[in-house]
């Protein structure tokens, strides 16, 4: 397998993290903003939706979308609940991550950290993302206040998926995690999983 991987991106990191937790290996092709490799991967048709990550299977099949890749790699492992309702609950969190969480938490981090996004980092936009993103972190906090993992009694793809941009919400996104103790304890639980690798590993 080959992973078209953006080293700085949480969407790519969640795939690298799951690969490590499962003890799987993929050759990494790093495609970072501004790098020739990103333009080349697009020109070669390796990024069907124009974005990383993309998993290239041994037969050349290209699988885009980070959460679809997690589902593919996670199938048949303990990271996917066998129970139908918990499976659907896992997907609820993963859809929410893409349609809510990423659009606030990851976007604020992108505006603050990527030079090509700087022009969009207006004080109004940053303030709006701080307020709306903190409300999303509160949803996670409330949920995790009474449980160790997002779904059922065990770690699932939902945790891996949401960990990616949540664990850098403070360092990159400027969110204050102090008011979210259950969320911080959950971040530590994910980081303690056997095989865990960090974003910069
Ligand atoms: N929904 C997609 C989002 C992927 C995405 O936005 N990737 C960005 C980096 S985080 C990218 O590859 N950008 C390259 C570009 O826009 O040229 C996923 O979860 O995989």
Q: What pLDDT, in 10s, does the model give residues 26-71? A: 999 999 999 999 999 999 999 999 999 999 999 999 999 999 999 9
Closest to 144 (Cα-Cα) out of 188, 107, 103: 188
Convert the pLDDT of each residue in 101-126 to its tens digit: 999 999 999 999 999 999 999 999 99
- Outline which parts of the chain fall under CATH 3.40.30.10: 2-74
Closest to 158 (Cα-Cα) out of 106, 55, 87: 87
Q: Does residue 6 have its Cβ closer than 6 Å to ligand 1?
A: yes
Q: Does residue 52 have its Cβ closer than 6 Å to ligand 1?
A: yes
CA of 88 to the centre of ligand 1 (A): 24
Confidence of residue 201 (pLDDT cuts 50, 70, 90): confident
CATH of the domain spanning 2-74, picked from 3.40.250.10, 1.10.3720.10, 3.40.50.970, 3.40.30.10: 3.40.30.10
Max CA separation in the chain (angstroms): 48
pTM over 0.85: yes
Residue 191 in tokens: 């980081």
- Outline which parts of the chain fall under CATH 1.20.1050.10: 84-191
Closest to 161 (Cα-Cα) out of 21, 24, 6, 11: 11
Predicted pLDDT of residue 96? 98
CA of 51 to the centre of ligand 1 (A): 4
Closest to 101 (Cα-Cα) out of 11, 165, 179, 51: 165
CATH 3.10.20.30 describes domain 84-191: no
Q: Which residues of 88-113 are buried (b: 16+ CB within 10 A; e: fewer)?
A: ebbbebbebbeeebbebbbbbbbbeb
């Amino acid at each position: 397998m080959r992973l078209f991987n953006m080293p700085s991106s949480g969407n790519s990191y969640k795939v690298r993290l799951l690969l490590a937790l499962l003890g799987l290996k993929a050759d990494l092709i790093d495609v970072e903003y501004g790098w020739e490799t990103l333009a080349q991967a697009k020109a070669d048709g390796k990024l069907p939706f124009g974005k990383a990550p993309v998993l290239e299977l041994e037969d050349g099949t290209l699988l885009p979308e980070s959460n679809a890749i997690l589902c593919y790699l996670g199938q048949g492992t303990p990271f996917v609940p066998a129970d139908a309702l918990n499976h659907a609950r896992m997907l609820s969190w993963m859809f929410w991550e893409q349609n809510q969480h990423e659009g606030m938490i990851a976007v604020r981090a992108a505006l603050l950290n990527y030079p090509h996004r700087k022009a969009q980092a207006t004080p109004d936009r940053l303030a709006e993302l701080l307020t709306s993103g903190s409300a999303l972190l509160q949803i996670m906090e409330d949920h995790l206040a009474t449980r160790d993992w997002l779904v059922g009694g065990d770690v699932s793809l939902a945790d891996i998926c949401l960990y990616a941009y949540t664990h850098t919400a403070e360092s990159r996104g400027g969110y204050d995690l102090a008011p979210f103790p259950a969320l911080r304890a959950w971040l530590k639980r994910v980081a303690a999983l056997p095989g865990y690798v960090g974003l910069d590993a």
